Structures are given as C-alpha cells and as structure tokens.
Structure 1
C-alpha cells in the first residue's frame, strides 16, 4: 500500500510540474570530492554507477574552502593566525582545490512542450557540467562574473531522479601571495576578484575563492521564456518630495526566447502601478526577440529618494508571456523605484555633482569591499550591513573594483534603505599596473593589458549590467579602481554596452577620473589630526579617504587569542611602536600617540575604550569638515572604508561580526542632514542643512561644561539656513581658548525648533587643554544615571536621565545582550556612545531581529559611569 501511495504521489508531481511555471534553487544535498581522488569521467560521475556516499557534504552556494571549513578540516581562518595553517594554492598547486560537486535531485521530465533550464549565477573560475551521463556544455565555460544557462530538457530522466555533476577549476594563474596588493598581481590575468591574493586589509584566501559561489537554479517554463527585462524610469524636471507629482514615464523592454521548432504567437504583458501594458508578439522558431512595450505615463508617481532626502517608494512590476494569449509560459517579478539620476559638472568645485529627480545630492558615502571574504552570502546579512550605512546617514556605497559585482540581494537592500551605489568593474591600479611595484611579477605595461581574455571581460560586463540595471539604487558605473581598463574594453563599455543596455547612468572611466574630480586622487588612509579635515582642501569628489577603526574589547576578543590581547607600546630605544604579531597579521592600523592624550592605557580594556574616543572624533571631523564646505570645496566624499569582509583591524564602522564601534556613531553625527557643528580652527559655529527646503526658525544654544558639571552659558540666538547649504552662525572670541586652557572643556551645541520647542540636533565636543591633552576627562567624578526601558512597536525604547548636580555622563555605550551575556548582533541603536548633560533626559530606540524570542538584557556604561543594568518592561 505504501508503494502504491508513493507512486501515485510521484505521478501527481510529474503531472503538476508539466503545467506549472516554476523556479527552484539547488541549495542542499550537494556532495564533493577532490578531483584527483576520483579517476572517472564526468559522464560516469553524473550517473548512479558512481557511489558518492563517502564524499564530503558540500556548501552550495559556496567556495571549496567554505566546504572544507564546514567539514572541520581547517580551523576558522578569521581567528588568530589560523589562516596561515591552511595550505595556499600557490604552494599546493591548482589540483588541490579542483573539486567535483554532485547533486542528486528530483525533477520531473519535460512534457507538453515544457522547457527546463539549469542556471548558474556565478562559478569561479572554469567548469564543466554533466547531467545524467551527458556533458551539458560543449566547451569548458570560464569567468567568475558570467551567468550561464543550459537547456536540460532532453537530459532529464523519465524517472524524475537526476544527478548533476560539476567540476570546478581555480583561476590560473593564482598568484604568489607575497604581501603585495593582490600579491604578485598575476591573479588579474583572469576575470576574477583580485583581493584573495592578499591586500593591506586582508591576508590571502587559500583557494582564491574557487567554487560554485552563487545560486544554482532549475527553471521550468513553457516553450517561451523571458529574461533580461529592463525597466527605465524618466522623471523630468526638478521634483519636490512632498505634494502631487507630475507624471513619470516608464519604459520597458524584455527578451523572449522561443525554444521550439514552430512559430509561436502570444502576448507580452507587464503590470505596474495598477496599469497593464500589452504587446502582441510572433516569435520565429528558436529565436530570441527583444520586445519593446509602449511607454507608460504614470500619474502622480510615488518617487524613490536617497537616504535622508525622502522615502524609498518601490513599485511591484510583473512581466509575463502568454502563449495564444491564455497559457502562461513564463513570468518575472521585479521591484522598481521611480526616479531619475543625472549628473552635472560643478564649476565652483571642479567636480561631478549627482542629481536625483532634479535635486542635487551632497554625496556622503562609504567604500564597500564585500560582505564576506569567503563569499558566504546571506540576504539577511546584506540587509543588516546596508542598514548600518543608512544609520550612519550616508547616501552612497561604492563597490570597490578589486572585489566582485555585488549580488542582487545587496542592491535590494540598497533600494530599501536609499543607498545610491557606485559599482566598479573588476580592475585595480595595484594589480593592473598603474604604478611600478617591486612585488609584482610583471611590469606596468604588461599588467595594464590584464586580463588575458578581453572578450570574456566584455561579455561579463554585458551580463552583469543586465542583471543589475533595474535597481533604483544603482547610480554610477565605474570602469575600475584607480585605473582605466585596457582601451578596447573601455571602448566597448563606454561606447556600446552601457549606452545600449542601460543609458541612464553616468560612467566614470576609473575611480580617480577627471570627470569625477579635477586634480583627482585619494586618501589619506591613516589617522589624521582633526585639523586636517577642516583646514586641508582635499579632492573635490574624493572617492577614498579614511582612517583607523578597531572595535572595543568585546570585538577584539572574538578573533584575537587571549595571549595576544596586548596593548601596543612605544619603545624609546628603538623609537617605534611595538605591536603584537597577531595584530600585525590582522592588518592593524596604528593609533599611536592619539591614545596617549586620553591617559596611558594600562590594560587592553583601557586601550580599546580610548580607541573609541579617537574613532568617534576622527570620523565626526571627517564628515563635518566636508559638510562645512559642501558646494564650495566638495560635491561628495566617500570614506575608505566602512566595513571589512575579514577580521581586519582598520577602516571599519562595525566588525566582521556586525558589532558597531564608535566610528559608526561619529560618522552618524557628522553626517546628519540638519546639523550644528564647531569649526575648532576658526572658532565658528555652523549649521548645515542638506534638505531641499530652508529650515524654519531655530534656536541655537552654545554652552560649556567643566569636569565637575558646572554649566557656562556662551550664546543663544535664532537662526535659519537655506536649502542645501552650510552657514556660519556664530564666532567665538577668546573665551573658548580661555575656558579650555587649563584642563580642557566640554562644548555643547544644540538646535531647537522655535515653534514647537522640539530638539532638532545637538552635538558635544571635548576640547583639549593648551598642551593638546584631556585632563578634563581624567578629573571627572562618577555620574549616577536614572534609566528605564520598555518594549514598544518601534523597538526597545531606552530613556536615560542625568540628574542635576551630576557631571556630564560622558560617552555612554548602550549594550543589548542575550541571557548568556553575549551581545545581541546585529542590533541597531538610534544612537550610541552618547553623552547626557546634567539635568538632561534622552531617549533612544533599539531594534533587533524580530525572530529573537528569549528575554534580553540591557546595560549602559560609560567613561565616568559604572555598568548599570536596565530592566526592559
């Protein structure tokens, strides 16, 4: 009876699949083995005659190294010096990381004219595909950034039981990881990512990311399938965020392929904003036709705006093809943001200006490497990381050219949170020969012609543009990091591919292009005096400028062994800073004497806590110095960098484990859309207004506070600021220097809406004494806070009150923890590393993953407060 029931169910499954359009992902049940361990052909391996019971469980999507790690064959390369224990492909040879991957899956055979496609969204680097004893691809396919799709209709087994086998070969050459940027540079001979040979923020990845690194899907349609839909949106004129909008124009094309031997007549349809647009189509046998729909005028469109400027409205868009106007053959579903992105040359700054819906946007951006160095991608992690960029009040992410073309889920998150994206293609001046480098195997002239296969690079660009072009967040294309691609590649991109396949976004030939910024260049990348960001005129659209960025002691303990939690110190006899070897391995960027001005750290806890003060002050100054000169010196600035895909100890707003440090909150403060700030060089108070409309009347208040908490009024006045501008509001005389001379002073600035008495912004600076030190912070008495927390629909609402008579409660970190005592990660704080004045009360919102069901705990502790647990009601 059980056998009969099973057979009936299986027959029902086959009949159902024969009529339904569907797409399934093959993301489980994979097994693998090293190719040298099995002496059989692909035809044999892809049939049941080959027993794979003893093969390793494989992680797909994933790299070879990911699978080996998940099978506990190596230790976590992100911890300590473990990465050095993993055999590097340069030493072992390519065969060590050449693997067979097998998947046994159930899928009914094609019937009633169905077509079944096997699709790979990314394999690194070359591969052959076999199914049920048949070789699927005619010749070995190559290229990390080229999607592939194969018709497997004729290869599916009548029983519904199928075996897929894929052999994956590493890129060649793999490169010598000799400590150079991209090692010896030869990894760039291939159309692959360059960082796995090592960079100044990462150690080499042993397998060079060999593997089936992105999704594998099987798609079943009727005789016609559609792909590469392109939705363009035109929003003419200069638009406001509020009020009724004039119409926008929607332009749609899609590709339809007839896979059968006869002519097919049908209807192509797309639906958007409650409207349907149809086109009657006749497709010739075995042909691909681009279908161009009539333009749609969308009345009163809900526009998409960058973060900070307006909402990120998205429209569902469904494209389908009906055979004989009744039978669904295939469909595609997208989310579309209605907006138009243009650029203009700013003659005052001599740099490019970005405009969205006719409004100029002052670019506050961050450079992004990728989410995970081992390409372990996760839609949720993408969402979390982009969420952090939103919380920093940034409006652009640049995807760096030594990495990858990001996956669609990354762009989904950028669409959701309003982060414009500048996408580099796969070249970097380090590997591709912009500079002479003794660590490189070949000279600059040879390297400038990388990669070897120009045709593959061009095909990959075309394919990735088609994959990403519908995202509202995608704003700019860039030929490469700090170097133009070879002339023929550049010409194909600039003159053919991008105008034909997109035509709606500006193309920078490389990230330091004169069309971005005259007198172009980038950096610096190390700790600077705050004066630098206020007084030094950097490049007017700086694609890379950055600094330090380690986390606190909880962050350091996640990847540094206890024996290596050693404070750097200055050796007077050697006249240099001595840093632990594991810190150096994790690419520590020195804080040096910037820590000492807060008092000599005796413990690693002291060091990490002082580092957060430096972090906050450094990135606040970076963003405020740029904002103070927007449209005067600058049209945009992009931090190098906001995150690391490995446990590096430099240039990051949150660590690999998505734990924010004070860099994030210093950037958040300095990047606010409406912001009061202090130019300590010229003793000026300024207010920046990034909005499209002028401010209402606001009250500006400036106060000073001593270490003991004594308040010293400085000024109070009413101010207004024009749209998209920064204006000087007050100039101090000698009183600030006089107040700070002996031990330093706190300077507090605030803005309040004069009509509603609602606070708009505030900002607290800690100013040095005459010698550049902070005795102020060493003399502060303890502050005892009153704090409460309650669960609300918006998250956990935390209120902190500092009673009168207390000193400033300085640099308080809120921390949400599990019952185990471990931090809740990720957690999103409306602000952190906060200071509360005597007599002041502040409220913050904490948001965490809604799937957490356990009771959480919360504590607050700061520079001059003890750890205090707060009950969450």
Structure 2
C-alpha cells in the first residue's frame, strides 16, 4: 500500500515537472489608515468587503513612499520639504498604521503546495487571507523573513484576498537632532538611522510598511529551503592559469508538507557534474541534508575587483521523484576561500583571498535608499560605481539593514567583498555618554528590548545571504558589540553552525581588527583635510571609517536645492538654511586658494577640485604605507541614501562627482604617484606578479603649456608592494613655483602603452593657485562616437602649443532636453589633456533616447557635442 501511495504521489506531480513557480505580488495593492477602517482582518480579507475607495499602495515599500506616490506629502529629499511632513513621534503610531489589501488569483491543483512569503515587514503585522488568520503569532521585527503554507486557505474558485495590517515600531524615538535621535529607536529591531543622524534628517514614518518583496511560491510535496554552499580553495593561487582542485560542500533543508512520506533523489549539478543522494522525508518533517564533498577540477576562481575575474558557477538543486522534479532551487556560486591572518608588523588583520593577501580599499555603505525604494537596477548601478572607483570592499553600516540579496548579487558580479555589520551602533547602543539620549549608557547597552527576537532574526538573515561569494566578514555592530547574551550565541553557535567560514569581528573598530595604539575611537578623521595629512599622519592600521567631503556639482545641487537657496556658502558664516538642513560641511579654506567662490556655480566647480584632490590623496597615502602602516582602509562614506551634502562619490540621483574619479585614480591596481611631503615618485603594485620593464616618467608643465622634462627610468616592481623611485623636489624648486605647476607622471610598458598616468596641480609658494586663475582658455577638439548600442567614445584633443586643458567634466545628456542621463558610467572623468595629446573616454549607459555629450572644464568653455 505504501508503494502504491508513493507512486500516486509522484504521478500527481507529473503535470508540474517543468519547474517550480514563484512570482511577486508587487502591484495592485490598496491601503487605508487604520483610523479610517471600521473592520477587522477577518472581515477585510473577505472578497465582499468594499475597498474601492482605498488608496493605491506601493508594495514593496513604506507608508511614506505610498503617501509620496499619491501626492499626499511633498518629496522629503527636496529643500526643506521634510519639515512639512508629520513626524510619528508627535502624531502617535496610529497615524502611520495601515491596512494593506491585495486580490490575487491562485489555487492548488492536485498535490501542489502554495507558500506566501514576506521578505521584510516593519515593524509588526498580522496577516489574513479569505476570512482566516494566517499567522498564529504576530509578526515582529524588521529584519526577518516569514513564510506560510496557505494551500488550505485558498479560495476554491482561485479568487483570493490578502489583508495585512502593519504597525510602526513600538518605540519610534524622539528625533531631537542626536545620532539616532534620543536613541530609543534602537529598542526595536529596526533601522536606527530613521530617527536622524549627522548625514540625514528623520524619516517620518520610521520606514513602516511591507518594505520588501511579497512572493507566492508553488511547490509539490517537497519544498527545498536555505541551501548552503561552501567552497574551499587550498594553497596560494594566481588569477590566471590552470588551477589545482577546489572542494565544494553543499547542504540544504528539505521540507515535506504533505501527509505522505516521500522518497527520491536529492541532487545538485555544477559544471556539468551531478551529485546525488537518496533521501526519505517523512510527512510533516523538515531535515537538513548534507551531500558528500565534491572535488571541482581546474576551477574558475572568483577574485575581488582588481585582482582577477569574478567567475560564477550555476548550481541547481533538485528533488527528483520517479524522474519528476518536485522542487528546485538555483543559485550562483563563486569558488573562493577567504581567510584572515594577523599582521604583527601593522598590528591589524590582513585579508586573504585564495591564499593571496588583498590590500583592502573599501567604502562604507548606509543603505541604497532611505525610504527603502530598492530596485535591481539601482543596486547594480551603485555597486558598479564602487567597482569603477577601483575599490574591493563595501562595509554595510550597522544602523541600517542586512542588504537585500540583489545587492550581494551585484557585489558577486563586480567583485566587491562585503563587510557586514549587524544592527547595533555605538551612538544608540550606549558606547558614549550622550546628553541627547533619553536613557543612560547601561540602559542603552541592553537595547534592543527583545533579545531572543534578535537571535532569531540573525539566524534567518545569515541563511538568506551566506551563499554569496562577495560576503567576506561578519561584524557584531558599528563601534560597539551587541549585548553579551546576543554576542556570545552569534560567535559560539549561530555563525559556526550556519556559516563557519567567515571572520567575525566583535565590532567595527575593535582591536582584533585594527589595534588602536593612537587613542580615540579607533576610526576617523571624517572632515576635509590637507592632502599631505593622508601621507604623513599615521592612523589606525585597518581603518573602518576615514573620510572627507563630497558636495556634488551644480547640476547635482539643482536637483534638491531650490533656486532661491542656490548661494555659495561662506565658511565663517552659518550656511543657508537648506544647505544646513542637508548637512553641509564647510569647504572655504580649501576653495579660497583657487579664488573665493563668486557664485554657486563657481563654488561647485572649485569644490570638485578639492573633492578629487582629497580622495586621490587619501587612497594614495594609505597605499604608500601598504603592509607597513596599513592592511586596509574603508572610507566614510561612499554613497548617500538621502540628499545630504557630505560623504558621497555620487549623489542620491546616481550622478557622480569628482570624488569618484579622484578615488578611482588613487586606487589604481598599478599606480604612479608623488608624495606631497618629499616629492618622491612612487609606484604601487597591487597585483600578484612582478611587473618588469616598466618605464616610470616624470615631466612638468607650466601654465603656458611648456613642457619641462625631468627623468624616466626602466625598472620593475614586485607583487603587492610599493617602490620609491626618485624625488622631484630640486626639480620643482628650480621651476620656481610662484604661480604653480602641473606634474605629469606616467608608467609605460615596452610597447609604450600608458599603464598609469597621474597629473598633479601644485600651488605657488604662497599656497595659492594664482597660475590656474590666469591660465588661458583652451578650445580642444571634441568628438563623440557611438561605438555600439549603449556605449559612446568621447575624444578630447589638445593642440601642441596650448596650455593644459584642465579638469574637464564629461556628461552624457539627452539631446533634446539637455538633462543628464543617469546613471552613466565613465571610464574616467574630470580629465586633463596635456599639450599635443588626446584622451578617449568611454561612456556606458542604458536607454534608447537620442544622446549628446556636454564637456566643460576649468579653462574649457561648456560645449555640447552631437554623438556621431
């Protein structure tokens, strides 16, 4: 009888054998405020309950996003609009408590099982379907997935109504201007930044809503969940050539929701090989199944950006019964091994990938969008910008979220290692005495209130992202550990059991990461600095947060600063109210050497010179002391989830500024640079092999464009090393720098290809750039050609007798409207063209509009060029 039942069970699955079914419920939602609805969830989820007057809802999304999309509130990212939106701390929670309703067609046929999945709700929720309650206990916690088998709750005719009530966090915090407001936002398992920080104003609904994907999944009598893939790559590898074998370890949870025992083969396929195991899953049982280790011959390895390719294998897991697939999961797998070895010389941790030491060049990431409007395209663009900066790591800051799987997918693709904090910060969780906080340090130290919920959420989120090749490190929290009864289970149980392959740092600037011999908090500084300080002032040897400025250019400012507020800020005066509201940091002492800003356009252009110089010097200074003072540096911060006027390489609208390209230049894998302290020409090689027969060349150009040759030398540089070549000090003194001078450095190979080039603009003896202020206008020849769909080549040519065509911004624009096309990815930007030379920049973009290119520079008039 058991055999007959088993055969029938498999035959019932035959109609479904092609693939599993999964789709999002991402449109057609309606919502209403709880105070406007005089009914309960059992009633609302009945098809007969009238919702025609309800408001269109954005799901996934927050209540504030829905209100914005329905024009109920102004754009909180523009001007002072955020002040016009009611804050939940003053209104009470009901103001942002909403019912959400979605009608959908679905029914189960035969042995099908239907699952309702929520990837994130903030903060508490109850779910109803067709007049029945779905969740036995209230859903609580922003950072937690929920899944329900709704097969028996579906309507017989397939016409279903889903109703969800979403409550804000119980404690929303007073947005009193402190870091995380009064700190009490951290009493719940939610986003701390929403009460305000020094780079953002408060988010008025505190991100309340069904903020992440809602999915329907259909399986048969088997449901595959939470696959776990570990790759072991022993030894020290090179990025090229034949590889010794790697080991693949795979396990997966298998659930049988049916009333019958199911037997079959659980298998996975990778690189054309199939590994299978016979299994039997009893009715109502969930088991974790481990496969035998698999040896992958000559593997194609995954490397961080700048060190090699990011190869990803397709891996498919299936449960097979009588030659039919009952369920399957597919994922991308990068074969790599990440290790950490303490560097006794620097007193900091060193990161190793596939046996090779990696000098960490990282950026701190808050969240893609402060209102949680996530898209695959936006994630892809933001991570690609980090790749274009020549960075190899992104740190996810602890006051926000574990990012969504689509973020890690982009990091897998572009080679960005991820340093992942959990949901704690020193500001809210009590590291410092803070008069802005409501509770004392001992009380804040126990936040959040519900510790078991935190542990449950960590288990769930680890399972969600652990298979990504890019995920490199775990961290207890930003500048502080979690409470001990959370920290110890993370270290001693959860991560060893669910991962077991990644380093865990207790907190982001802990001594186990970077031994603090200097004093202070162990990170920073954060403000604008003399570029020489990055070279000469020793800081923490693996600095988790070190930063500078980041104001965008004029076109960026126009997007969120009203015309009447477009005023050049003055350093010694309180800035305009909108600039102040958007967290402006003063630039003037660094802009004034170029000439005091005449207006906001002049200010924005000069700010880009400062931006470029700051971030080039930052990464050059750290690279100059690679393995001597430092094993890595992580910039605070590289992106902006709100329209703040600080800490960004590109603005909220994905428009890059000169920070990005200065950092790109300073972070080149093979890079020539000049130490501003002793004028020493230095080369850094981040690669794994010796670079032979390199020609290192130095020239100078005066403000009229006259070339002054200094020296060039053939030499080599070893792997992962820094080499000093020759000083320029005497040469520059002889040139008499009373008005300033340009210094051009290049590395050429035997074919005379330029492998690295760098142009410095030096001030006169008085520290002012008087020569730049008087330099003659240049009219370069500019050509723009479409190379293929979505790629344009822009060439700037400068005549031999001209001065340097200095600091040119290239912008791809819509040929009709003149508006910038965003995002667009430039192989370089803010470029300078020496006399008698040409430079070609490629621009990648998506879209079908007619395009043009706008070019303007320090001494180049703005010009719009048609694309040929």
Per-residue deviation, residues 674-695 of structure 1 (Å, max 9, x unmatched)? 0000001012110000000011
| Equivalent residue number for residue 857 of structure 2 | 862
SS in 2 for 1:290: strand
| Equivalent residue number for residue 622 of structure 2 | 626
Per-residue deviation, residues 683-714 of structure 1 (Å, max 9, x unmatched)? 21100000000112111111111111111111
TM-fit CA distance, 1:300: 0.5
TM-fit CA distance, 1:315: 0.4
TM-fit CA distance, 1:15: 12
| Equivalent residue number for residue 512 of structure 2 | 515
State the distance in 2 between where 1:81 and 1:107 align: 45
User: Are 2:799 and 1:799 equivalent residues in the alignment?
Assistant: no
| Equivalent residue number for residue 739 of structure 1 | 735
TM-fit CA distance, 1:795: 1.8
| Equivalent residue number for residue 4 of structure 2 | none
Mapping 1:407-426, distance limit 5 Å? 407-426=404-423
TM-fit CA distance, 1:399: 0.5
State the distance in 2 between where 1:358 and 1:771 align: 49
| Equivalent residue number for residue 225 of structure 1 | 223
User: Are 2:495 and 1:498 equivalent residues in the alignment?
Assistant: yes
SS in 1 for 2:236: coil
| Equivalent residue number for residue 6 of structure 2 | none
| Equivalent residue number for residue 713 of structure 1 | 709
Describe the shift of the 1:806–1:18 C-alpha distance in structure 2 as closer, same or farther (beyond 3 A): closer
State the distance in 2 between where 1:111 and 1:741 align: 83
Mapping 1:741-780, distance limit 5 Å? 741-753=737-749, 755-780=750-775
Structure 1, unaligned runs of 5 or more: 1-13, 571-575
Q: What TM-score do the two structures reach when normalised by structure 2?
A: 0.97
User: Are 2:249 and 1:254 equivalent residues in the alignment?
Assistant: no
State the distance in 2 between where 1:20 and 1:633 align: 54
TM-fit CA distance, 1:21: 2.6
TM-fit CA distance, 1:19: 8.8
| Equivalent residue number for residue 528 of structure 1 | 529
State the distance in 1 between where 2:746 and 2:776 align: 24
Contact 1:577 1:592 in 2 (8 A): no
SS in 2 for 1:697: strand
User: Are 2:776 and 1:781 equivalent residues in the alignment?
Assistant: yes
TM-fit CA distance, 1:615: 0.2
RMSD: 1.3
Q: What TM-score do the two structures reach when normalised by structure 1?
A: 0.96
State the distance in 1 between where 2:574 and 2:91 align: 34
| Equivalent residue number for residue 106 of structure 1 | 105
TM-fit CA distance, 1:263: 1.5
SS in 1 for 2:514: coil
SS in 2 for 1:439: coil
Describe the shift of the 1:798–1:18 C-alpha distance in structure 2 as closer, same or farther (beyond 3 A): closer
| Equivalent residue number for residue 832 of structure 1 | 829
Describe the shift of the 1:96–1:750 C-alpha distance in structure 2 as closer, same or farther (beyond 3 A): same
State the distance in 2 between where 1:252 and 1:132 align: 39
| Equivalent residue number for residue 537 of structure 1 | 538
TM-fit CA distance, 1:299: 0.7
Contact 1:740 1:768 in 2 (8 A): no
Contact 1:125 1:144 in 2 (8 A): yes
State the distance in 2 between where 1:427 and 1:393 align: 29
| Equivalent residue number for residue 10 of structure 1 | none
Contact 2:570 2:586 in 1 (8 A): no
User: Are 2:82 and 1:86 equivalent residues in the alignment?
Assistant: no
Contact 2:17 2:324 in 1 (8 A): no
TM-fit CA distance, 1:735: 2.7
- Could you tell which deviates more after superposition, 269-278 or 16-25? 16-25
SS in 1 for 2:717: coil
Mapping 1:116-127, distance limit 5 Å? 116-127=114-125
TM-fit CA distance, 1:577: 2.8
Contact 2:17 2:325 in 1 (8 A): no
TM-fit CA distance, 1:310: 0.4
The match for 1:319 among 296, 317, 325 is 317
TM-fit CA distance, 1:383: 0.1
State the distance in 1 between where 2:772 and 2:729 align: 24
User: Are 2:68 and 1:69 equivalent residues in the alignment?
Assistant: yes
Contact 1:699 1:716 in 2 (8 A): yes
TM-fit CA distance, 1:792: 1.4
TM-fit CA distance, 1:39: 1.3
Describe the shift of the 1:425–1:84 C-alpha distance in structure 2 as closer, same or farther (beyond 3 A): same
Per-residue deviation, residues 150-194 of structure 1 (Å, max 9, x unmatched)? 111110001000000000000110000000000000010011110
The match for 1:308 among 306, 321, 338 is 306
State the distance in 1 between where 2:547 and 2:306 align: 22
State the distance in 1 between where 2:109 and 2:235 align: 52
State the distance in 2 between where 1:426 and 1:140 align: 21
| Equivalent residue number for residue 871 of structure 1 | 866
Contact 1:18 1:111 in 2 (8 A): no
TM-fit CA distance, 1:870: 2.6
State the distance in 2 between where 1:188 and 1:17 align: 46
State the distance in 2 between where 1:363 and 1:716 align: 30
TM-fit CA distance, 1:757: 1.1
Contact 2:222 2:327 in 1 (8 A): yes
State the distance in 2 between where 1:302 and 1:796 align: 32
The match for 1:394 among 383, 391, 395 is 391
TM-fit CA distance, 1:738: 4.1
TM-fit CA distance, 1:41: 1.1
State the distance in 2 between where 1:736 and 1:544 align: 35
The match for 1:197 among 192, 195, 198 is 195
SS in 1 for 2:743: strand
SS in 2 for 1:577: coil
State the distance in 2 between where 1:859 and 1:267 align: 60
State the distance in 2 between where 1:376 and 1:512 align: 30
State the distance in 2 between where 1:530 and 1:170 align: 45
Contact 1:18 1:114 in 2 (8 A): no
Contact 1:860 1:867 in 2 (8 A): yes
State the distance in 1 between where 2:46 and 2:562 align: 47
Per-residue deviation, residues 493-534 of structure 1 (Å, max 9, x unmatched)? 000010110011100010011110000711111100112101
State the distance in 1 between where 2:31 and 2:427 align: 35
| Equivalent residue number for residue 8 of structure 1 | none
Mapping 1:334-345, distance limit 5 Å? 334-345=331-342
| Equivalent residue number for residue 168 of structure 2 | 170
Contact 2:851 2:866 in 1 (8 A): no
The match for 2:598 among 585, 602, 607 is 602
Mapping 1:216-615, distance limit 5 Å? 216-323=214-321, 325-519=322-516, 521-570=522-571, 576-615=572-611
Describe the shift of the 1:795–1:534 C-alpha distance in structure 2 as closer, same or farther (beyond 3 A): same
TM-fit CA distance, 1:569: 2.0
Describe the shift of the 1:277–1:432 C-alpha distance in structure 2 as closer, same or farther (beyond 3 A): same
SS in 2 for 1:217: strand
State the distance in 1 between where 2:15 and 2:48 align: 30
TM-fit CA distance, 1:287: 0.8
State the distance in 1 between where 2:436 and 2:616 align: 36
TM-fit CA distance, 1:18: 11
TM-fit CA distance, 1:732: 2.5
State the distance in 2 between where 1:700 and 1:258 align: 66
State the distance in 2 between where 1:54 and 1:485 align: 46
TM-fit CA distance, 1:786: 1.3
State the distance in 1 between where 2:256 and 2:821 align: 51
State the distance in 1 between where 2:839 and 2:716 align: 25
| Equivalent residue number for residue 668 of structure 1 | 664
User: Are 2:843 and 1:842 equivalent residues in the alignment?
Assistant: no
SS in 2 for 1:464: helix
State the distance in 2 between where 1:464 and 1:622 align: 34
Describe the shift of the 1:16–1:32 C-alpha distance in structure 2 as closer, same or farther (beyond 3 A): farther
State the distance in 2 between where 1:213 and 1:149 align: 15
State the distance in 1 between where 2:455 and 2:562 align: 45
State the distance in 2 between where 1:856 and 1:49 align: 52
State the distance in 1 between where 2:806 and 2:824 align: 22
